[in-house]
Structure 1
Amino acid sequence: MRIADFPVPDTPAARGALELAAQYQSRAITAHALRSWLWAEAFAHVDGIGDIDHELLYVSAVLHDIGTVAEFDNHKISYEHAGGHVGVALTAGAGWPAHRRDRVLEVIVRHNWTSVDPALDAEGYLLEIATGLDISGARPDALPEEVRREVLAAHPRGALAAEFGACVSDQAARKPDTAAKRLLEGGLIRKLSANPLEHLGSGLPHES
């Protein structure tokens, strides 16, 4: 299993999502989004989940945190809902039908659920466990080490721990009824710094 096994969808929506991410997000947050997509595709492979809407998964992964940036932040609703609506707007412009646009919102919102039933939403499940790996270090050994190293080399973590921790802390302070508060109270800052991927990407040994 290699990165080359997961081609980027060659569609207007996929290209637009990446352009938006690169324009508005930091390099570290965009790299996190791209790693999350690759982890999701890899988890689909190892968990034997077929019949995936790969374009939907890509667009949702690339845009799943865009609601944290100032231009798309919403003063009332959670950052995952705000980002999901950015995805709806983007895919409407790309000509997606309403039911498929709604799926972008669902998948992005569900990535912040504590768990997603793959029978309910395969793409939502994959993005939830992928971001769980990239942020909290969940299931670190479920994917082969060579795959993890290749993804980290292609999309380094950089300042993700500091930047994402600050983003979620800000969201939790301003919107305490959203998932950001739960994530922060669940030890997000500690999990980010202790994530085995931080050490695998840097080549340093991981201390548990």
Structure 2
Amino acid sequence: MTKFIADVKIPDSKLAAEAAELLREHGDDLLWNHSNRVFLFAALQGNRIGAKYDSELLYISSLFHDLGLTPKYSSPDKRFEVDGANAARDFLHSRGVPEESVRLVWDAIALHTTLGIAEYKEKEVALLYFGVGYDVMGEHFELITEEVRGQIVDAFPRDRFKQKILPAFLEGFKHKPETTFGNIKSDVCELLLPGYKRPSFCDCVLHSPWSE
């Protein structure tokens, strides 16, 4: 059956269902509910502004956007966003998805925590960024009504999300905190990782091997 939540259709193609199964297999309830809320908030924003976007690609991007935090997809040396993007690329390539669509999904996932850039990219990239910011930090909170938010949270509960998501982030990259240099996830390491000292770009410049 076609499923609608807050008047947004959940993509139900074979590709979408397989992506959902993969997140269910390798993620947990926290990531499952978060990823689905991200899609719904993103789609609502797209509909609100009258954007033309590929709902299936936005859904798959949402499902994969945090998979780089999971043991299955976490690399020893790459940003978790890149790990998730690479996992999505492999998944889509294996199913014969056109390269332009694969690139779009890769960019959406890889850039979903990149402030000041993602919102100016293609609609799917910008909308995923919006959905993540809405669910994690409540950005532009007033754009979605309390009633609609309630419908989404009823379907995909938050369940103390604010308290759980930061430790979940850290769990995904505590073995490679250096990958958070220059991005917002270094805040997570600074807050929760004992002994972590945030690298400084200024130190990198001042202590470079250049003689002058």
Class of the TM-score when normalised by the shorter of the 2 chains? 0.7 to 0.9
Give the corresponding residue for 2:201. none
Provide the C-alpha distance between the structure 1 equivalents of 2:145 and 2:34, rounded to a whole number of angstroms. Answer: 19
Q: Given the two structures, how large is their TM-score scaled by the length of structure 1? A: 0.81
SS at match of 2:141: coil
The Cα shift of 1:137 comes to: 1.6
SS at match of 1:7: strand
The Cα shift of 1:118 comes to: 4.5
Provide the C-alpha distance between the structure 1 equivalents of 2:181 and 2:26, rounded to a whole number of angstroms. Answer: 22
Q: 1:88 to 1:117 in 2, by over 3 A?
A: closer
The Cα shift of 1:167 comes to: 2.8
Between stretches 148-157 and 112-121, larger displacement belongs to 112-121
Q: 1:58-97 to 2 correspondence within 5 Å?
A: 58-97=59-98
Which of these two proteins has the greater Rg computed from alpha carbons? 2
Provide the C-alpha distance between the structure 2 equivalents of 1:49 and 1:151, rounded to a whole number of angstroms. Answer: 20
> Which structure 2 segments of 5+ residues have no match?
192-212
Q: 1:108 to 1:138 in 2, by over 3 A?
A: same
> Which structure 1 segments of 5+ residues have no match?
190-208
Q: 1:90 to 1:173 in 2, by over 3 A?
A: closer
The Cα shift of 1:66 comes to: 0.4
Share of identical aligned residues, percent? 23
For 2:158, the aligned partner's letter is: R
For 1:123, the aligned partner's letter is: E
The Cα shift of 1:117 comes to: 5.4
Does residue 25 of structure 1 match 2:27? yes
For 2:58, the aligned partner's letter is: L
Give the corresponding residue for 1:102. 103
The Cα shift of 1:139 comes to: 1.4
The Cα shift of 1:179 comes to: 6.5
Q: How many residues align?
A: 188
